[in-house]
Amino acid sequence: MEEGSSESGQDGGALSAASVGTEAVAAAAVVRKTVKMSETRDFIPCASEGTCLRDYSRSSGSSAAAAAQPDVASCTGSSEAAPRDDADADAEIHHTPDYARRAPAARLRIAPLELFSAAPSPPAAPRPPAKAADAEDAADDGAAAPEAGAGGGAQEGAMGCQIARTDKGNGDCCGQLRQEYDSLLREKGECRRVLEDLMRENDLKTKECHEAQTSLRDLQMELMRKSMHVGSLAFAVEGQVKEKTRWRQLLKDLSEKFKALKTEHQILLKESEEYKKCLSDATQMTTTIHQYMSQYASLESEFKDLKEKFSEEAKEHKDLYNKLIELKGNIRVFCRCRPLNTEETAEGASMAIDFDSAKDGELIVRGHVSSKKVFKFDSVFNPEEDQEKVFEKTAPFATSVLDGFNVCIFAYGQTGTGKTFTMEGTEGARGVNYRILDELFRVVKDRHDLFQYEITVSALEVYNEQIHDLLLTGSQPSTTTKRLEVRQVAEGVHHVPGLVEARVANMDEAWDVLQTGSKARVVGSTNANEHSSRSHCIHCVMVKGENLMNGERTNSKLWLIDLAGSERVAKTDAQGERLKEAQNINKSLSALGDVISALATKSQHIPFRNSKLTHLLQDSLSGDSKTLMFVQISPNENDVGETLCSLNFASRVRGIELGQARKQVDVGELSRYKLMVGRAKQDCKSKDAQIKSMEETIQSLEAKNKAKDLLTMNLQDKIKELESQLLVERKIARQHVDNKIAQDVERKQQQQQQSHKMEENSTYMRSPMSERNLNTTMERPPLSAAPKKDPGMAKQPFSDSNNSDTYSFNQLMSLAEEKENANPDAAAKARRVSLCNGGARQPRRSSLIPLPRRNSLMPLPAGGAKTPAPALAAASPLDKIKEYSSPPLSSPPVMSNDKGGSRSKRISSILRRSLQKKVVIRPPPSGQAGRRAGAVAAAAAAQGIDSARRAAARRVPAGGGAPRGGVHQNRDKERGWNH
Ligand SMILES: Nc1ncnc2c1ncn2[C@@H]1O[C@H](COP(=O)(O)OP(=O)(O)OP(=O)(O)O)[C@@H](O)[C@H]1O
């Protein structure tokens, strides 16, 4: 029905204009549709619509017209008559959107059509109830008719009812009926007219309706569009609202965040303040840190330098230590440990050796028991260290060989520990033999300008105590015919005569030869080693060198020995040939052990000849060689016993002091050098003797010098003593002399007075010349030579002036003697002598002046009687005095009187001493000169004592300042100053 109405709504033009009900239904359907639309949009006002809807639904009832009327009235009333709702309605209309306002208007336009279609019914109002009931039935039918869709169905129904009623009343009502029928016909005509009018009107209305419908449809469409638009807008609004809410939430969050940030900002501000404060501290700290950093850097560089220095020092120390060891002649021992092999690893064997301090040459054997044993060697190589590393420390031996030293390198150890690996190596990991030959030829190449070398190689083995030449073809033990023995070819030189020596020019040739030898060696499989060496393999590289600069020739040997491994026969389960081999190997190794023990204990007898091996190694083990031993060990804890044995043996070997290795100079050259050495030794001896005698001379001279110095010192002391004594004596003498002079003057005056009186009394007057003392006349020199002196001069007090040495000396002597003798006459005479005028003094002076003053400088001997010379010297002036004195003076009591003699001796001794002092004072440098002369003489002792003496003698006067005559020299000699 709804679809039908909608269809009719859509195709409104096709609908019958007469079918009001249909239209009404269609309108209702449209309204319903509109309502439906409005229902979907909750924002469209619904109050009036609800009413309209209710009205329309009612209008679809049986009395559609009657029912519709009040509804329409209510509709219209609601819009027109009800003043109460006007304002609301206006407001509603005013507020209601345009499309909503048009809808009721459309409904209102439909309402007259419905009214018209129901209009014929009201005239039947006065109908009886039955009729009314029928009418109701008819209305019901009529109500059903519109539903069936027939426009005139209601009218025909009504007519049918009337006919029925007519039939009911039949006859009596026939007239009435006719009337009624006529009236009805009229009515019908009228109705038809009305109907026609209505039809026309209806057409018009239909047209209007159509238009309205069209506009309604447009409106609906618009409404729909708008609705949709509104919907979309609402959706958009909704989205916006949601967005807004979200934004609000976001804003809220942001504001919260902002708040948090603000607080954080506050905190940060505070922190920044603090940081600002801290910044200055930090700056300070930074500078301090920088300072420390620079200090640290400098310290670090210093530390680095120190470290480098330390490492250099350590290296140097090590080198020096090595050199020391080398000088001491120890056998150097390197220890090498092989890695665990696959079998051992599979068995889960663990390492028994600790290599933590291997760099210091130490290794620790942990062993089965808890105790650890530490061994120290020259170098320790752990299992990880390769052949190159091992050779690094072996290389210097190559240079030693070329320098002319015998070198022996041998590998010792338990079977299967890597002796052959170390010595021979493999194709990819060359061993010591290859590398040392390579190094040898490299150095030969380097030295080709200065040295010329000739290198020969031989290879032998000691198998079951027999020496086999490995370079002989078919030299297998079974086929060998030639028995080789070790012979001593020269003192300390052992050799195997008959050994093939292949001369090689380069490394390849040498290696080929050695390989040939190694391949010919007896090798067998044992439990311990699949390729076990069953013999001691010995390669000998002989180097003949010539120094092209000085022609020195050397003849040295390099022994490269791979010993057979020691093995426990029980452990290896050797049998037959292998057992014999093992026994021989162990025997020779035990002989080696004996030799080592003997060497270690510095035994008188070293059992080198107990085995072929030790006999061959004799040169290497007895001091002429540089020897290096590789002790090979196994890391396996199951081999600890053997390892300890090997290590103990190696330790003993390391302890052997062989003495310094000797350069193997060629014998021819050696004799020449020996001769030269002999001569040099003789020269040395004679030189030594010379040096010894010179040393003795120097020693004796030094001793003499010392004695002289001592003597000089003693003399100086004595002189000082005498000086002080002399001073005292001089003072005393001066006092005494002054007293005497005063007494003499007095006495003289008295005598003169007495004689004057006597003369006056007894004799006649004399001339002035007669008053002169005869003595003075006698003393007077010839008149021509005697200058007249002022008489006042005689009265001059006694002076100790040097200018009047002779005078004062004589005067002093005479006065002293007078004083001693207490002889007034003599004293007077002496006074006269001393105080006489110049004419009287001159002759005496002439006699005394020639006496050199130095006469009195002669040292006084201890006993005056024993030394006549000083006595003479002392006596001579007195004799002279006597000689020139007048008779009363010629025999002075001084000389005759014993008592006076002793005194005069004393005085003279004092004087002499004083003069002696003068001597000392005058030439003070003479003693020093003597000493210097002594020193010079000592220095010149090597050239001869006499020349030194002459030099000293020459230098003494020069040192003294004034030249001295031979007398002085003699006196010096007498004093012992030049000795
Ligand atoms: N340092 C090492 N690095 C790697 N492998 C090693 C080392 N030392 C020894 N070996 C290996 O151990 C095995 C035994 O070594 P080698 O034959 O040299 O022992 P050996 O002491 O000579 O034995 P023998 O006394 O029985 O002749 C070899 O296979 C060898 O390659």
Choosing from 337, 385, 417, 526 the residue with most ligand 1 atoms within 8 A of its CB, the one to mutate for a pocket test is 417
Atom of ligand 1 nearest to the CA of 526: 26
User: Nearest to residue 6, comparing CAs of 25, 39, 17, 19?
Assistant: 25
As to burial, measured by CB atoms within 10 angstroms (0-12 exposed, 13-18 middle, 19+ buried), residue 518 is buried
635 lies in the same domain as 614: yes
> Which of 101, 116, 118 shows the shortest CA–CA distance to 49?
101
Final residue before a domain boundary, out of 211, 241, 271: 241
Phi and psi at residue 826, to the nearest 5°: -60, -40
**Residues 545 and 556: beta-carbon distance below 8 Å:** yes
682 in a domain, yes or no? no
**In a shared domain, residues 729 and 844:** yes
Residue 81: the pLDDT is: 41
418: amino acid identity, one letter: G
Whether 286 is covered by a domain: the verdict is no
Claim to verify: residue 624 and residue 741 sit in the same structural domain: no
**Phi and psi torsions of 468, nearest 5°:** -120, 135
Sole residue written with tokens 């009404």: 24
User: What is the count of structural domains for the chain?
Assistant: 4
Q: Give domain status of residue 931, yes or no.
A: yes
The best mutation among 334, 336, 338 to test binding of ligand 1, ranked by most ligand atoms within 8 Å of the C-beta, falls on 338
Q: How does DSSP classify residue 661?
A: -
Q: Which residues contact 383 (CB under 8 A, 6 or more apart)?
A: 337, 338, 339, 340, 635
Q: Beta 523-524 vs 502-504: how paired, if at all?
A: unpaired
Q: 422 C-alpha vs ligand 1 centroid, how far in Å?
A: 8
3-state secondary structure of 357: coil
- Per DSSP, helices labelled H in 601-666 are 612-621, 640-654
Residue 518, ligand 1, Cβ within 6 A: no
Q: Are residues 969 and 881 in the same domain?
A: no
Place of tokens 């440990």: 337
Identify residue 802 by its one-letter amino acid code: N
pLDDT tens for each residue of 278-310: 888 878 888 888 888 888 888 888 888 888 887
Q: Tell whether 473 is covered by a domain.
A: yes
Tell me whether residue 120 is exposed, middle or buried, using C-beta atoms within 10 angstroms of its C-beta: 0 to 12, 13 to 18, 19 or more.
middle
Q: Is 636 in the pocket of ligand 1 (CB under 6 A)?
A: no
Same structural domain for residues 901 and 960? no
Q: For 633, phi and psi rounded to 5 degrees? A: -130, 160
Q: How many CB atoms lie within 10 A of CB 616?
A: 24
Between CA 271 and CA 265 the distance in angstroms is 9
Range of the domain at 729: 722-754+773-922
- Whether ligand 1 lies within 6 angstroms of the CB of 412 is answered as no
d(CA 716, CA 722): 10
Which pLDDT belongs to residue 665? 66
CA-based max dimension of the chain: 276
Domain of 402, CATH number, reads 3.40.850.10
Ligand 1 centre to CA of 785 (Å) is: 131
**858-864, Cβ contacts within 8 angstroms, sequence gap of 24 or more:** 858/971, 858/974, 859/916, 859/971, 859/974, 859/975, 860/909, 860/912, 860/913, 860/916, 864/905, 864/909
- The answer to whether residue 311 is domain-embedded is no
Q: Are residues 942 and 858 in the same domain?
A: no
Which tokens belong to 329? 């002649």
Tokens of 809: 């000396």
Residue type at position 717: D
Q: How close is the Cα of 416 to the center of ligand 1, in Å?
A: 5
Q: Examine the predicted complex and report whether its ipTM is higher than 0.90.
A: yes
- Residue among 32, 489, 5 nearest 220 (CA): 32
Report yes or no: 916 and 860 within 8 Å, Cβ to Cβ.
Answer: yes
Query: Based on the domain organization, do 730 and 637 belong to the same domain?
Result: no
Distances (CA, A) of 322 to 79, 405, 838, 956: 134, 17, 101, 62
Note whether 495 and 546 are same-domain residues: yes
Ligand 1 within 6 A of 521 CB?
no
Domain end call among 602, 629, 654: 654
Name which residue sits closest to atom 10 of ligand 1, judged by CA. Answer: 418
- Contact 916 CB / ligand 1 (< 6 Å): no
65 and 141 share one domain: yes
Would you say the CB of residue 418 lies under 6 angstroms from ligand 1?
Answer: yes
807 domain residue, yes or no: yes
Provide the angle, in degrees to the nearest 10, between the axes of the packed helices 47-59 and 98-118.
Answer: 20
Annotated binding residues, as ranges?
A: 413-420
Domain boundary among 177, 209, 241: 241
DSSP 480: -
Short-list 400, 401, 397, 399, CA closest to 542? 401
Query: Do residues 630 and 409 make contact, with C-beta atoms less than 8 angstroms apart?
Result: yes
Q: H or E stretch including 86? A: helix 83-95
Distance 423 CA to ligand 1 centre (A): 10
Residue 272 belongs to a domain? no
Residue nearest to ligand 1 atom 2, measured at CA: 338
Ligand 1 pocket test, candidate residues 410, 421, 585, most atoms within 8 A of CB: 421
Helix 98-118 and helix 20-40, axial crossing angle in degrees, nearest 10: 150
The 3-state DSSP class for residue 370 equals coil
Cα–Cα distance measured from residue 243 to residue 506, given in angstroms and rounded to the nearest whole number: 97
Q: Tell me the two tokens of residue 387.
A: 């052949």
Q: Is the CB of 532 under 6 A from ligand 1?
A: yes
For residue 415, give the ligand 1 atom closest to its CA.
Answer: 25
Question: Residue 890 corresponds to which tokens in the numbers above?
Answer: 């010629």
Taking the C-alpha atoms of residue 878 and residue 815, their distance in angstroms, rounded to an integer, is 12
Amino acid at 163: I
866 and 963 co-located in one domain: no
- Please tell me whether residues 608 and 625 are part of one structural domain: yes
425 lines ligand 1 (CB under 6 A): no
What is the Å distance from ligand 1's center to 839 Cα?
Answer: 132
Residue 786: exposure state from Cβ atoms within 10 A (0-12, 13-18, ≥19): middle
CA-derived radius of gyration, the chain: 83
Question: Does ligand 1 come within 6 angstroms of the Cβ of 9?
Answer: no
Residue 562 in contact with residue 533, Cβ under 8 Å?
yes
Q: How far is CA 604 from CA 599, 614, 855, in A?
A: 9, 16, 83
Low-confidence stretches of the chain (pLDDT < 70) are: 1-170, 314, 317-318, 321-322, 324-330, 367-370, 473-482, 522-531, 567-575, 623, 659-663, 665-672, 762-979
Ligand 1 contact via 632 beta carbon (within 6 Å): yes
Q: Are 440 and 516 in contact (CB under 8 A)?
A: no
Give a yes or no: residue 351 inside a domain. yes
Is residue 619 located within the same domain as residue 506?
yes
User: Residue 633 Cα, ligand 1 centroid: separation in angstroms?
Assistant: 10
